[in-house]
Amino acid sequence: MNVRVAITGLGAITPLGNTITSTWNALISAVSGVGPISRFDASAFSCRMAGEVRNFDARDYMTPKEAYRTDPCIQYGLAAALMAAHDAGLEKSGYPAHRVGVVVGSGRGGVTTTERNAAAYLAKGPKGVSAFYTPMSLVNMTSGYISMKLGAKGPCINVSTACATGTHALGEAMKIIQRGDADVVIAGGTEAALTPLILAGFCQARALSQRNSEPTQASRPFDRERDGFILSEGAGVLVIEELSGAEKRGATIYAELVGYGLTSDAFHYTQPDPAGDGPYRAMASSLADAGLEPEAIDYINAHGTSTLQNDRIETRAIRKAFGAHAGRVAVSAPKSMLGHMLGAAGAVEAAVTALSLHEGIIPPTINYEHPDPECDLDYVPNKARKQDIRAALTNSLGFGGINASLVMKKLS
């Protein structure tokens, strides 16, 4: 039996806003969420800008005691999950608790808590470490916390695959529903890795942009003058459920989730395979899983990090996967406005892809000013585009050579 899966709820915390609506409106208005780092003194770093979450108060979603005992990674993920669950109307859905699952991942987990407790240990020894350090920092704790808050007693797992985390979480959630282990799954990714240690690591790896005098112009995927990505933070969570159940209860259906592909480059721990074979196979696999030909895709939400090699290799892979159709499909990179949210990126971009299908609008790739001969697709430059979209694909590529693609389409 072919179980069809619908996207019925969206939630997000991002540098562009603390709801999916504010994030979406900023994206289609070509607004950048990148700015100078204000959370700590970044004057000694080669990159001094980021996509910070602003004006977020965890006490809007939990008690003050709970906020004190949770890392921002958990807080962002829980907030996005509660918004997605409310958007989907889960509280009135009638699903039995044991048929509701959670798959919300993170690439880094509670790294803010780890850094603080490491400093306390060095200053005071073992007694300086919080009794809550372990649960606050565990990478799976966001899924656990969401399940407790929402009473979801079905499958509850974590995915941690670097920058592909959110996309893998959604794909695995779809498969959980299709194999009959749950009727509805709350799925996505969360990240709060904007800390001195993480920033220093990426700076030392020379992965980040150094266009510090022009932060809103620093993230420029596919542009010839790109010089690295922008570290960002936040969360994206979606509610997905069996289509028949969603229709029966009259839920809003943003899109149908129809295909999932995942591969490994098996090449290098940070550098993607120059041939683009891994992302090509992920896209091809997701299309096969969806039962669609490449020509059915009208929009690709690209990984598009604004790094020299990644953008060229993703373009190469798209050309390989889509052949002659590659020149006709619209491709855009929300990271030009959001920055790179690491483990949360794929989930936020999946929510954006679903909204693109639902609203008939493609967000642009901003800061696209200088064409790169090796990046020669239609990147929807600088201005959102109104377009009817039948089906769309979203890509995520992660350190370790990890690739994931999802395919969505309008409900038919």
Q: Which candidate in 168, 340, 358, 375 is catalytic?
A: 340
Q: Which of 156, 163, 203, 375 is catalytic?
A: 163
Are 231 and 47 contacting, i.e. CB atoms less than 8 angstroms apart?
Answer: yes
What is the rounded CA–CA span in Å between residue 127 and residue 146?
Answer: 30
Q: How far is CA 39 from CA 49, 60, 284, in A?
A: 10, 20, 41
Task: Verify whether residue 47 is a known catalytic residue.
Answer: no
Q: Name the one residue in this structure whose structure tokens are 């306390």.
A: 120
Phi, psi dihedral angles at 344 (to 5 degrees): -90, -15
Whether residue 203 lies in the annotated active site: no
**What is the C-alpha separation between 232 and 227, in angstroms, rounded?**
16
**Which three-class secondary structure state does DSSP give residue 152?**
coil
How far apart, in whole angstroms, are the C-alpha atoms of residue 187 and residue 322? Answer: 28
Q: Which of 73, 168, 303, 375 is catalytic?
A: 303
* In contact, 200 and 20? CB cutoff 8 Å: no
> Locate tokens 């997605």: which residue?
84
Question: Helix, strand or coil for residue 13?
Answer: strand
For the chain, the first-to-last Cα distance in angstroms comes to 18
323 Cβ contact list (under 8 Å, min separation 6): 294
d(CA 378, CA 375): 9
Closest among 302, 308, 299 to 372, alpha carbons compared: 308
Whether residue 337 contacts residue 27, with contact meaning beta carbons closer than 8 Å, is answered with: yes
Nearest to 32 by CA among 49, 15, 18: 15
340 is known as an active-site residue: yes
Measured CA to CA, the distance from residue 273 to residue 281 in angstroms comes to 12
Residues assigned a catalytic role: 163, 303, 340
